[in-house]
Chain A
Amino acid sequence: MAAMAVALRGLGGRFRWRTQAVAGGVRGAARGAAAGQRDYDLLVIGGGSGGLACAKEAAQLGRKVAVVDYVEPSPQGTRWGLGGTCVNVGCIPKKLMHQAALLGGLIQDAPHYGWEVAQPVPHDWRKMAEAVQNHVKSLNWGHRVQLQDRKVKYFNIKASFVDEHTVCGVAKGGKEILLSADHIIIATGGRPRYPTHIEGALEYGITSDDIFWLKESPGKTLVVGASYVALECAGFLTGIGLDTTVMIRSIPLRGFDQQMSSMVIEHMASHGTQFLRGCAPSRVRRLPDGHLQVTWEDCTTGKEDTGTFDTVLWAIGRVPDTRSLNLEKAGVDTSPDTQKILVDSREGTSVPHIYAIGDVVEGRPELTPTAIMAGRLLVQRLFGGSSDLMDYDNVPTTVFTPLEYGCVGLSEEEAVARHGQEHVEVYHAHYKPLEFTVAGRDASQCYVKMVCLREPPQLVLGLHFLGPNAGEVTQGFALGIKCGASYAQVMRTVGIHPTCSEEVVKLRISKRSGLDPTVTGC
């Protein structure tokens, strides 16, 4: 028990910590403990999708593992439990609120299908938020139980490096603990960026860290940003009946196919979301009546304008959670521009036994399943004798805007840039989902395009699908592209009738032909 000589700094926490440590059978570690004497085989910093996947995988391989996780409250004071962004302030609550908005659309469809529902139907934010939050809390609990089941030690502490094998953790009450490990994985993710240069931004604005945890309806909302987070939030807020405006300085959904992106915006605009294009906010003030007055500038004319909102949501990007990690103490290199951690193809940082995965890493897709897979593969390489590397190509994803946008592979611009206009063939179609017909919905933006090489057998480079259930549609085709599908192979696949996804296997009109790509008949 010599190792119990825990190097603790906070006196107040000392006694309590010792009891806990004894009860948990955890050994503290002396600074600079030699290999074999360190507390853990693996220490994971960050209990999000990637971190938890690493921890569970390593535990399954019989390793001694600890996870440290700590949620720094947002400037508005929002905090949450174990599981990281995806579970608490990302994919899960956003898809559930997206679903709430979709159900609003279905309620409007229902009378066309014979259901006698008196319109309009009001929406109660509190009820939805409570249901969503309860589900998230059950997931937090589930993650705790899973760690326990696999004998992964979990610390709710804020970690920073002491040296390259040792991490110091500070708990909520200020008590500290040192943990040492042979291998350390950094998976701290990112947090929303605040435009701190804008007056009132930090004081009055909220971010995606807060929106899902609001007890009361955000009311009339200004969403600033053109990221998928911005558009998804604006989409569901509009969908549940709130007056919503999106302010975009330049292009929407940077990095995504721009034709598809503009159609996403088009659809949102025609379904009630207001857009302020080419504008940038300059200040936010609270009016005496409690409303927020936002002043912005039209970037082309230079003219100023103001508007009054109940809520201002910043969704202008995310910053990696690396600042408090003391990475320099361990010698882990970060990108000077983005502060993200630099890694090689094996997820290794500049320090041999320190790795990084997920959103905190420079140049990786910021997606939950990518982090999970990268984490699992990393651990299998570390402890499972595997040599499989993560393949970051052809990662499929879906933007859950009111009309969903699923994609995999290259955007049209990217394909043209890589292969040249004359070597790229784009097949496309405007289709109408069967369910839209009877409901009398507008299908102007239901669109699918497949980007292929022009030379036979016309290898598929990218697939872009805008329509209901785009995520479900895209998943299988992502596999096809992974298998090296050619246009001919996709066309030889028989459709499933009547679905939206069958439109993909019926793509016959090339952009080059200039023919009308509108699907008629069935």
Chain B
Amino acid sequence: MSLCPGWAGPLTVEKPRPNPITAAWPRPRPHGDPTPPEDLSAAVWSLVPALYAPCASRGWCCSGWPRLETPECLSTRPLLGPFLAGRAVGHGGVKELFSSLGVECNVLELDQVDDGAKVQEVLSEITNQKTVPNVFVNKVHVGGCDQTFQAYQSGLLQKLLQEDSAYDYDLIIVGGGSGGLSCAKEAAILGKKVMVLDFVVPSPQGTSWGLGGTCVNVGCIPKKLMHQAALLGQALCDSRKFGWEYNQQVKHNWETMTKAIQNHISSLNWGYRLSLREKAVAYVNSYGEFVEHHKIKATNKKGQETYYTAAQFVIATGERPRYLGIQGDKEYCITSDDLFSLPYCPGKTLVVGASYVALECAGFLAGFGLDVTVMVRSILLRGFDQEMAEKVGSYMEQHGVKFLRKFIPVMIQQLEKGSPGKLKVLAKSTEGTETIEGVYNTVLLAIGRDSCTRKMGLEKIGVKINEKSGKIPVNDVEQTSVPYVYAVGDVSEGKPELTPVAIQSGKLLARRLFGASLEKCDYINVPTTVFTPLEYGCCGLAEEKAIEVYKKENLEIYHTLFWPLEWTVAGRENNTCYAKIICNKLDHDRVIGFHILGPNAGEVTQGFAAAMKCGLTKQLLDDTIGIHPTCGEVFTTLEITKSSGLDITQKGC
């Protein structure tokens, strides 16, 4: 319960929308106590860019207040000192609190200005707070009465009341991955003084890397390149059928590939350093740890400590692979942190886990001709459409990857040292008492990832984390429980763990923080692709999830198997590639789930994701002309519904 619930209902003032720049509200009141500061409206609008981004959810920018996005209207003076929007009948003592701190408070009485309703609406959009008073200090949203008093008690309020210039930096970003860097660069472009703290704690196997985070160093980039290497192996097989003539026996050289990939990564690391330098972002290769409000300790490789302060912080430290916590795991197993720069071919490999990381790695290793086994505790690709996941798995199985289902490792022993050595893996059944033993050259753990939040002093400044997952809960403007601290990327709770998501949210966050835009990051219908040997692209809901949300009877699912033209002459299997869309019958057969299993799934999915943003329906799919001959065109001719039970196998063409 709020101390002062205030006014939460809509005001009934109905007026044409004002031009925010020229609008004359609040009008000078005929009589009344402290005259509102000169042009308070401008002051409110100066808050808006920092926090408010209605486009994503309401589309206001485009229709209602189109000029909000233009720089002129945002170049109003920054509103220093506290600002309080409320109603004339009372402010729950907040005003008095500020007076007691010797600070003058700007007050906007919403019930006494024209268009107060609009302001109210804007403020609740900005802050997710429907009640008044709504308190800001130096452009940071503090909250209502309760929060303001809490902030006072914790000392945060006093901190916030200090001038911005009291800090070394406008923004310090902890973590130099996709999200952190995009946020840093954007903030720097907007003229802010920005620092990035990035430090890679070496993996238990001693692997470490340069600037750029997971995606560049131990994620998307090297994995897609290794996936490409494996696809080339397939292309070599195909090419004979297409008339290319060469020796049947083609060997794969791990070292050559890895060196080439690592060279590319080094160039990317360097590129990031360069672009930070160009944009005058301070880059410090040190580990960041909060020590008090607005203050962070940076420890470098040599153990030297330096302290920096900033008005605002962004946490973008991402995640690292999880270990099993069994005997021998940290000593002998590797993870995706190590695999891509492994100086020797991993040989016979056991991949533990069924995450997309596990399946992608198993896929390309098998593609190089290695003996690969995947040990799966329960289901494949948790969170993804399970029909698709099983198809991904069965394609891999048909192409030489062995699966050990319902087993978990209990002990790893080293039999022989070497590059690679020999490891004995003892595993037990998840269902009975059965145990099995296997000998592998390499054991790769891909059982999940843990966020890097526990050793960075978040508790010292009161940033709440989810105790179980370690993730940081944020609101829809990426703000943590501490108003001046934000989190983007894999470390933030409930957000898709994807590079482009982190980049987008980081960039938009910087724009909102520093007044260039109001747009929030839209996390709906985020497309993604799993780069298994047969790629799986998707956007929107999994079938299970769709059924859970909309009920089976309200859905129509269209699907088909297809045979890519390039596969025909290559003599590759028919009735393997699969396309599926899930439509909501109650909403004009709107497409709420898009799934494709086939070559170039990523390239295919992207455009459909854009179309889903625009409200794609089955009718529109039917009305769109295919591009012949492609795989993507299959979605323009989907006819068979799953509920009909009709045969979807392809005969002939």
Contacts and interface: CB of A to CB of B under 8 A. Distances in A.
B569 interface: yes
B607 A474 contact: yes
Given A475-B630, A476-B607, A498-B220, A521 B271 contact: yes
B229 A504 contact: no
B275 A520 contact: yes
B569 A485 contact: no
Interface in B595-653: 600, 602-611, 613-616, 620-621, 623-633, 635-636, 651-653
Given A369-B636, A478-B625, A438 B243 contact: no
Interface string B198-224: 000000000000000001100011001
Contact of B239 (A106, A118, A478): A106
Interface stretch (B21-29, B257-265, B285-293): B257-265
Contact of A113 (B232, B272, B605): B232
A189 interface: no
A445 interface: no
Interface in B261-301: 261, 264, 268, 271-272, 275
B343 to A, nearest CB: 14
Contacts of B406: none
B627 A397 contact: yes
Contact of B228 (A86, A138, A367, A435): A435
Nearest to A83: B653
A502 B243 CA distance: 33
A286 interface: no
Given A91-B629, A488-B62, A496-B500, A116 B271 contact: no
A496 B529 contact: yes
A188 interface: no
B627 A493 contact: no
Contacts of B504: 494-495
A3 interface: no
B66 interface: yes
Interface stretch (A22-30, A127-135, A243-251, A354-362): A127-135
Contacts of A472: 600, 603-604, 630-632
B180 to A, nearest CB: 13
A479 B257 contact: no
B344 interface: no
A114 B253 contact: yes
A240 B246 CA distance: 14
A434 interface: yes
Given A473-B603, A496-B605, A478 B627 contact: yes
Interface residues of B, number: 96
A396 B236 contact: no
Given A116-B251, A141-B652, A501 B606 contact: yes
B489 to A, nearest CB: 13
B569 A484 contact: no
Contacts of B256: 111-114
Contacts of A115: 229, 232-233, 236, 250-253
B254 interface: yes
Given A91-B629, A103-B244, A123-B245, A476 B605 contact: yes
A109 B256 CA distance: 13
A141 B651 CA distance: 11
Given A96-B569, A480-B614, A496-B606, A110 B243 contact: no
Nearest to B234: A106
B399 interface: no
Interface string B552-575: 000000000000011011000000
A489 B608 CA distance: 12
Nearest to A483: B614
Nearest to A127: B243
A496 B604 CA distance: 10
A396 B625 CA distance: 7
Given A92-B565, A406-B627, A480-B613, A475 B633 contact: yes
A382 interface: no
A116 B603 CA distance: 28
B606 A107 contact: no
A490 B609 CA distance: 9
A373 B241 CA distance: 33
Nearest to A479: B611
B12 interface: no
Contacts of B275: 520-521
A476 B632 contact: yes
B224 to A, nearest CB: 5
A286 B62 CA distance: 67
Interface in B509-567: 519, 522, 525-529, 537, 565-566
Interface residues of A, number: 93
B422 to A, nearest CB: 23
Contacts of B615: 483
A139 B368 CA distance: 34
Interface string B26-42: 00000000000000000
Nearest to A96: B569
A32 interface: no
A138 B614 CA distance: 40
B462 to A, nearest CB: 31
Nearest to A502: B606
B483 to A, nearest CB: 26
A504 B611 CA distance: 13
Contacts of B66: 456
Given A118-B246, A484-B614, A113 B604 contact: no
Contact of A124 (B181, B243, B609, B611): B243
A479 to B, nearest CB: 4
A103 B239 contact: yes
B636 to A, nearest CB: 7
B119 interface: no
Contacts of B604: 472-473, 475-476, 501
The listed residue with most A CB atoms (<10 A of its CB), out of B215, B221, B224, B600, is: B600
A474 B251 CA distance: 36
Contact of A131 (B242, B630, B632): B242
A96 B566 CA distance: 6
A240 B633 CA distance: 27
A515 interface: no
Contacts of A142: 651-653
A127 B178 CA distance: 47
Given A135-B569, A373-B625, A477 B239 contact: no
Interface string A79-123: 000000010000110011001100110110111111111100111
A349 interface: no
A498 B630 CA distance: 20
A469 interface: yes
B498 to A, nearest CB: 7
Contact of A438 (B55, B216, B244, B260): B260
A144 B265 CA distance: 53
Given A131-B242, A139-B653, A471 B632 contact: yes
A122 B62 CA distance: 58
Given A103-B238, A112-B256, A494-B527, 4 more contacts: A103-B242, A114-B254, A497-B215, A521-B271
Task: Identify the 6 closest CB pairs spanning chains A and B, nearest first.
Answer: A476-B607, A475-B632, A128-B243, A142-B652, A114-B257, A501-B606
Interface of A: 86, 91-92, 95-96, 99-100, 103-104, 106-107, 109-118, 121-129, 131-132, 135, 138-139, 141-143, 145-146, 240, 367-370, 373, 391, 395-398, 406, 434-435, 437-438, 456-457, 469, 471-480, 482-486, 488-490, 492-502, 504-505, 520-522
13 contacts: A106-B239, A107-B236, A114-B229, A114-B252, A373-B625, A437-B264, A472-B600, A477-B606, A489-B610, A489-B613, A499-B606, A520-B271, A521-B271
Interface of B: 55-56, 62, 66, 178, 181, 215-216, 220-221, 224-225, 228-229, 232-233, 235-236, 238-239, 241-247, 250-258, 260-261, 264, 268, 271-272, 275, 368, 496, 498-501, 503-504, 519, 522, 525-529, 537, 565-566, 568-569, 600, 602-611, 613-616, 620-621, 623-633, 635-636, 651-653
